[in-house]
Amino acid sequence: QKEVEQDPGPLSVPEGAIVSLNCTYSNSAFQYFMWYRQYSRKGPELLMYTYSSGNKEDGRFTAQVDKSSKYISLFIRDSQPSDSATYLCATVRGSSNTGKLIFGQGTTLQVKP
Amino acid sequence: SAVISQKPSRDICQRGTSLTIQCQVDSQVTMMFWYRQQPGQSLTLIATANQGSEATYESGFVIDKFPISRPNLTFSTLTVSNMSPEDSSIYLCSVDPRGVLRETQYFGPGTRLLVL
């Protein structure tokens, strides 16, 4: 079983739609959760990170962690064509300062004008 | 944040040869990381490079295949040795500029390698 699982998609939505991207993880000890966005032919860029359970909002983006079900989500409101990218969820195995980033496979999102 | 550059951005190589990838950061950082991103696969950590010490390799990766140098706090190289088509991948370096928070790593643009 992979430590972090993510549906690779692709996911195609019309402009203005609400997008929901999801990951599941296997180890209840994971505490830190990140979402990265990767445009074509670019490196991943950190979008948001959260600690433990709950929600975190940043503009049109909301990250949500449900530790009871080992489920993490990224919601994008009023999606734009510029949001078209691959979104990777990640967590840290081990402590925050010595651990290892574990990534999901990435979900490819296309927002059509 | 940190600005990271990598050279080359892409290359096509023959099997059996070696390629050295360079990673340059615009600020001094303690730890640098090298990842591999194979088509349709997750980003996978190859090794962690600290200045002044041997790199620490993850399970499945060995120094003979992926030797790493870290001569100072802003630069690192990864060599992919004796390449085979299975080494075709994107190789990325990343840094942890705060030095204490893995959850805020920043990535370079990647080096796209195709081995024929």
Q: Does A10 touch chain B (CB under 8 A)?
A: no
Q: Is B4's CB within 8 Å of A42's CB?
A: no
- For strands A11-14 and A107-112, give the pairing: parallel
pLDDT-wise least confident of A13-22, B59-68, B96-105: B96-105
pLDDT at B100 over 80: no
User: Measuring CA to CA, which residue among B27, B19, B20, B16 is closest to residue B84?
Assistant: B16
Q: How far apart are CA A88 and CA A8, in angstroms?
A: 9
Q: How far apart are CA A13 and CA A113, in angstroms?
A: 9
pLDDT tens digits for range A29-47: 998 899 999 999 899 999 9
Rg from Cα positions in chain A: 14
List of residues 6+ apart from A87 with CB closer than 8 A: A21, A35, A36, A37, A38, A47, A74, A106, A107, A109
Which residue do the tokens 């990265």 mark?
Answer: A36
Instruction: Count the helix, strand and coil residues of chain B and give each as a percent rounded to the nearest 5.
Output: 5, 50, 45
Give me the torsion for CA of A56, A62, A63, A68, rounded to 10°. Answer: 90
* Contact map slice: A 37-96 vs B, CB within 8 A: 41-46, 49, 51, 88, 90, 92, 96
Percentage, residues of chain A above pLDDT 70: 98
pLDDT tens digits for range B21-78: 999 999 998 889 999 999 888 899 999 998 888 899 999 999 999 999 999 999 999 9
Rg from Cα positions in chain B: 13
pLDDT tens digits for range A79-99: 999 999 999 999 988 776 677
Joined together, the tokens standing for residue B8 give: 């080359």
pLDDT at A76 over 90: yes
- pLDDT band with cut points at 50, 70 and 90 for residue B103: low
Q: How far apart are CA A47 and CA A53, in angstroms?
A: 17
Q: Does B108 touch chain A (CB under 8 A)?
A: yes
Q: Is B101's CB within 8 Å of A4's CB?
A: no
Q: From the list A45, A96, A101, which residue is nearest B45 (CB)?
A: A101
Which residue do the tokens 């991103």 mark?
Answer: B37
Q: Is B43's CB within 8 Å of A99's CB?
A: no
Instruction: Count the helix, strand and coil residues of chain A and give each as a percent rounded to the nearest 5.
Output: 5, 55, 40
User: Measuring CA to CA, which residue among B81, B83, B87, B71 is closest to residue B25?
Assistant: B71
Q: Is A101's CB within 8 Å of B105's CB?
A: yes
Residue of B38, B59, B103, B107 to mutate, interface with A, max A Cβ within 10 Å: B103
pLDDT at B1 over 80: no
Q: What is the pLDDT of residue A83?
A: 97
Q: What is the pLDDT of residue B24?
A: 97
Task: Tell me the shortest Cα–Cα distance from B109 to chain A, in angstroms.
Answer: 4
Task: Tell me the shortest Cα–Cα distance from B67 to chain A, in angstroms.
Answer: 20
Q: How far apart are CA A8 and CA A47, in angstroms?
A: 18
Comparing alpha-carbon positions, the chain B residue that sits nearest to A42 is: B109
